[in-house]
Structure 1
């Protein structure tokens, strides 16, 4: 399977959420042959959509229409004054991802609709009302930042960074200055606080009256999910991924654990699978799942 593909030029788009907040992103039309489906790429927290553009171009070159976008408060969707915003993770799922899902359906209601979700981007789909329309999901390091799930040998450092320092700085400044610190992008205070204070049960960060509906929405997702973890990912550990997957109780889920050595790399971590150094390895293998629904790593299944 060749990685030398034709890539169509992406088109900049603005997506209107139901509450009036505009999101900005791109559509990457399939570049050749019969369309294989539509893929929405959901970023990780504090990661710009453009980080995934090379992977989006790759998918476009292999027959998919691809939508990339920045969540509200991030990158091209950032407002002029981030301090005035209290956007939360739940807004990214219930409003932002929902708006992108509806856009994808308006563009082509008949195409299989798939999601590639990185980190929190693999959890947010279950918060969207239209998520039962998803045909297939690929998640990478998908978890929701419960600190006890972090890698044991790095847990204290990560706890101090993301659950102490982040909460203090957010309280002082009214937003999290991640870019200044070199810790990802700036975050709205609601997102930063949800990360800092997230407990073992994700639904407890929602108002009490809404928790049952949140659980029902997550359980209503019926798309098969292939959840990828990597042995040196300090955030998306096997237990963190399993905790998130458990909410998708209505879906057929498969969890796999890969290692840097599987791709002749010394390290991968939480982020680098979306770097084009993986185009001839991991990226090509994801097509087996996205096109055909087959697990490319049957020998790596967890449990």
Structure 2
């Protein structure tokens, strides 16, 4: 099976189940191992990035002996329909959907196979929130090129106020006016529901995790989190600098391993997105960290 995945870097993994998510149906895909008790990594994608973008990264992880589960979030990739005026979903829906994906994993993979969650950018935020709200559901969480969008966490006065405070608030306001965020027209985030963009902007403005339609106190849950974290920043990442990652991970007392993935490590040009296409060494770091967590 490992050789098949390695040879087909552009082929999606087989579907192992489906999550009913309102008007959306989320296909859950998994590159499994011959040993069903191998660790499982569930990959939550970035805003506007389809799961297919991570195929090479998935192949690297799989080649190291990990079972890798991927999916497209609502309105993204193969999880249609796309957001339009009146489409209603937000951060809490994404947290619930990740939990649903783990339910699908539970139906296919033995309970003795340790579960880990891995999120990129927005997916890292969702991974953190889910891990805090569902303690014990995963053995560890990996955050890559992610961080809080709290404007205070960003360096530089101009960037802090104009890009990271006023920018997100303008996006949320325009999303409300238009009925959705047409990100494909503005080169940011893809087409998204208004609720998602308002949740995103609220956290950036207030530094609090108050999700629309949710009664979960996520700030309190994060303050109790004890699940091990691996946080990875990358070179040339203006969207999620180290200070933003520290602001996100610093909201919890969980044991944390910090790594920085450089162009020298990757042997290629990197930024907020390009790391996924040049992640061989990073996959090795993740595998080593997972094995270390399991030895504790």
Normalising to structure 1: TM-score of the pair?
Answer: 0.80
Deviation at 1:121, TM superposition (A): 1.5
Instruction: Name the CA distance, whole Å, in 2 between partners of 1:12 and 1:34.
Output: 16
Match for 1:137 among 137, 141, 147?
141
Partner of 2:9: none
1:15 aligns with 2:13: no
Partner of 2:233: 229
- State the Cα deviation string for residues 115-142 of structure 1 (Å, max 9, x = none): 1111122221343354422112221122
The 3 A distance-change label for structure 1 pair 34 and 81 is closer
**Contact 1:169–1:177 under 8 Å retained in 2:** no
Point out where structure 1 has 5 or more consecutive residues left out of the alignment. Answer: 295-303
Deviation at 1:186, TM superposition (A): 0.9
Instruction: Name the CA distance, whole Å, in 1 between partners of 2:155 and 2:208.
Output: 19
The 3 A distance-change label for structure 1 pair 25 and 122 is same
Partner of 1:254: 257
**Contact 2:83–2:193 under 8 Å retained in 1:** no
Match for 1:88 among 90, 100, 109?
90
Instruction: Name the CA distance, whole Å, in 1 between partners of 2:63 and 2:149.
Output: 34
Instruction: Name the CA distance, whole Å, in 1 between partners of 2:264 and 2:140.
Output: 27
Deviation at 1:160, TM superposition (A): 7.7
- 1:1-303 to 2 correspondence within 5 Å? 5-7=3-5, 10-17=13-20, 21-30=24-33, 35-79=37-81, 82-93=84-95, 95-108=96-109, 109-128=111-130, 129-152=133-156, 154-155=159-160, 158-159=163-164, 162-198=167-203, 199-206=205-212, 210=215, 212=217, 214-219=218-223, 221-249=225-253, 251-265=254-268, 267-275=269-277, 277-279=278-280, 281-293=281-293
Instruction: Name the CA distance, whole Å, in 1 between partners of 2:258 and 2:147.
Output: 12
- State the Cα deviation string for residues 249-281 of structure 1 (Å, max 9, x = none): 3x212233343344444x522122211x332x2
Point out where structure 2 has 5 or more consecutive residues left out of the alignment. Answer: 7-11
Instruction: Name the CA distance, whole Å, in 2 between partners of 1:82 and 1:231.
Output: 35
Instruction: Name the CA distance, whole Å, in 1 between partners of 2:272 and 2:129.
Output: 23
Q: How many residues are aligned here?
A: 283
The 3 A distance-change label for structure 1 pair 202 and 71 is farther
Instruction: Name the CA distance, whole Å, in 2 between partners of 1:186 and 1:243.
Output: 27
Partner of 1:215: helix, strand, or coil?
Answer: helix
Partner of 1:300: none
Mean Cα displacement is larger for which, 74-83 or 156-165? Answer: 156-165
Partner of 1:301: none
- State the Cα deviation string for residues 207-263 of structure 1 (Å, max 9, x = none): 6x8353x234434543211111135321222221122113333x2122333433444
The 3 A distance-change label for structure 1 pair 24 and 221 is farther
The 3 A distance-change label for structure 1 pair 286 and 132 is same
Partner of 1:202: helix, strand, or coil?
Answer: coil
Normalising to structure 2: TM-score of the pair?
Answer: 0.82
Partner of 2:5: helix, strand, or coil?
Answer: coil
- State the Cα deviation string for residues 153-204 of structure 1 (Å, max 9, x = none): 6445634884254234313321111123332421111112222332342324
Deviation at 1:90, TM superposition (A): 1.9
